[in-house]
Amino acid sequence: MAYSDKVLDHYSNPRNVGSMDKNSRDVGTGLVGAPECGDVMKLQIKVNPQTSVIEDAKFKTFGCGSAIASSSLATEWVKGKTIDEALQIKNTEIVQELSLPPVKIHCSVLAEDAIRAAIHDWKKKNGTTEKTAAPAEAKASP
Amino acid sequence: MPGDATTTCWSCGDMRAAHFCSSCGKVQPPAPVDYFTFFGLPRKLNLDTAALEVEFYELSRRLHPDVYGRADSKEQHWSLEKSSQLNDAYRILKDPIRRTEYLLRLEGIELEEQSKTATEKARNTGELKKQIVPPELLEEVFNLNMELQELRTQRQMGEDDPALIEELGRQKLELERKFEALSKELRTYWDEWDQAVENGNDQERRKVRDKMVDLLNRRNYIRNLVRDVNEGLET
């Protein structure tokens, strides 16, 4: 399958690859996976507690070119945004920006999930009140 | 005999027939049925594969296009089409995992669609999306991938770290054990599923269906991971 130029660019020259200390209070970590293809994506954000601005973002993704490009783009986009702004990012915007074909839409979904999971983790650490959701569990309810 | 009789025979108009007319024996036109129906089976997961094989060979023989060498072109065409339907059905049903995945698709499971909808819901409600793959497994997948990457980098520089190779080998065994355990667990769900089908319990049916989806997702991950580790360990 042919990748778009933008995917190729992010794939061969990914932005913000790396990791941050996940135990740091300012760092939120999102680890998500797409069972359809076995991809796994880790996205981390460093948030300024006073302003709620995401000052830095890192990712590491094991997966196809589209998954790598989606997460690379996601780190670029969240940087400089407040967490509330970052929560507005939609997977469809990633699809558009990278011209992802329909079979790769799940990669963009994964990237959006990763952003949300990272923000959720940060909020939890910093005691920001948030609606509690069902915890991700290994098994469906018995 | 295969299949529930569904129509009257096109040729003699007599008995209702599935693959062959039970009265005049003529081949019947192909119908767009699912693979379970093709073999006249209920939508259950425990399946006598030995009996299925016998049935497959029997139908193969009777549907074989060679048999229809002198039949009219309509029948020749049907035998060809039905033979290919038969091969597809057998290939899917004889394999326990493919059979389960196929059944889940019949039951309307579209994994990707589900995932997308769940993400949209999370965006609208601000709740955290429940990840299909449990976090511990993701963590493990991630770490193992890191180690594999390290191994590859080392190899590129012409080095080999025996400790790392040993560690990966150990983890691979562990994964294979997990894989086995999941396969066993799946079989207990088969029993639950078949029970629910028998009892016509739709609520239970959906519950078991979701459990199987969940399990197959985890299984996919582990399978891919074992494959990657094997590739990584090959010199």
Q: Report CB contact under 8 Å: B119, A91.
A: yes
In A, minimum Cα distance to B209 occurs at A140
- Three-state secondary structure of B117-171: HHHHHHHHHCCCCCCCCCHHHHHHHHHHHHHHHHHHHHHHCCCCCHHHHHHHHHH
Cβ of A33 within 8 Å of Cβ of B225? The answer is no
Domain count, chain B: 2
Give the residue-averaged pLDDT of B79-94: 94
B82 and B137 in a single domain? The answer is: no
* CA distances, A132 to each of A88, A140, B82, B116, B143 (Å): 19, 18, 54, 21, 28
Average of pLDDT values for B195-217?
A: 92
pLDDT at A32: 93
* Within-domain flag for B25: yes
Q: Is the pLDDT of residue B21 over 90?
A: no
Report the SS3 class of residue B192: helix
* Widest CA span in chain B: 77
Q: Which residue of chain A has the CA closest to B125?
A: A131
Q: Residue B186 pLDDT > 80, yes or no? A: yes
Residue B128 forms part of a structural domain: no
Report helix angle A65-78 to A91-98, nearest 10: 110
> Across residues B50-56, what is the average pLDDT?
95
- Per-residue confidence (pLDDT) for residue A88, from 0 to 100: 94
Most confident of A9-13, A134-138, B151-155: A9-13
Q: Which amino acid is at B144?
A: L
Q: What is the tally of helices (H) and strands (E) in chain A? A: 5, 3
- Which of B12-26, B122-136, B156-170, B189-203 is predicted most confidently? B189-203
Q: Is A95 on the interface with B (CB under 8 A)?
A: no
Q: Is A102 on the interface with B (CB under 8 A)?
A: no
> What per-residue confidence (pLDDT) applies to A64?
87
Among B75, B94, B113, identify where a domain stops.
Answer: B94
Domain holding B12: CATH number? 1.10.287.110
Least CB–CB distance from B221: residue in A35, A91, A117: A35
Say which residue, B14 or B56, is predicted with more confidence: B56
Distance CA B235, CA B58 (A): 46
B130 against B219, higher pLDDT:
B219
pLDDT at B2 over 60: no
Domain membership of residue B24 (yes or no) is yes
How would you list the strands of the sheet with A27-34, edge to edge? A27-34, A39-47, A54-62
Domain stops at, among B44, B63, B94: B94
Kindly report, residue by residue over B92-102, the tens digit of the pLDDT.
999 999 999 99
Instruction: Single out the catalytic residue among A31, A37, A40, A53.
Output: A37
Q: Do B112 and A134 touch (CB under 8 A)?
A: no
Domain boundary among B40, B63, B94: B94
Model pLDDT for residues A90-128, shown as the tens digit of each residue:
999 999 999 999 888 889 999 999 999 999 999 999 987
B119 pLDDT tier (thresholds 50, 70, 90)? confident
Residues B138 and B223 in one domain: yes
- Tens of pLDDT, residues A33-80: 887 677 899 999 999 999 999 999 999 999 889 999 999 999 999 999
What's the confidence (pLDDT) of residue B235? 61
Domains observed in chain A: 5-124 (3.90.1010.10)
Q: Is residue B41 domain-resident?
A: yes
A47: three-class secondary structure by DSSP: strand
Average pLDDT over residues B11-18: 67
Do B29 and B79 sit in the same domain of this protein?
yes
B225 in a domain, yes or no?
yes
How much is the pLDDT for B1? 41
B121 in a domain, yes or no? no
d(CA B54, CA B230): 36
Question: Mind listing the pLDDT tens digit for each residue in B134-148?
Answer: 888 889 889 989 988
Interface pTM (ipTM) of the complex?
0.81
Residue B113 lies in a domain: no
- Cα B94 from chain centroid (whole Å): 9
pLDDT at B60: 94
Full residue range of the structural domain in which residue B28 is found? 7-94
* Across B171-192, average pLDDT: 93
Mean pLDDT computed over A12-16? 90
Asked if B142 and A35 come within 8 Å (Cβ–Cβ), the reply is no
B21 within domain boundaries: yes
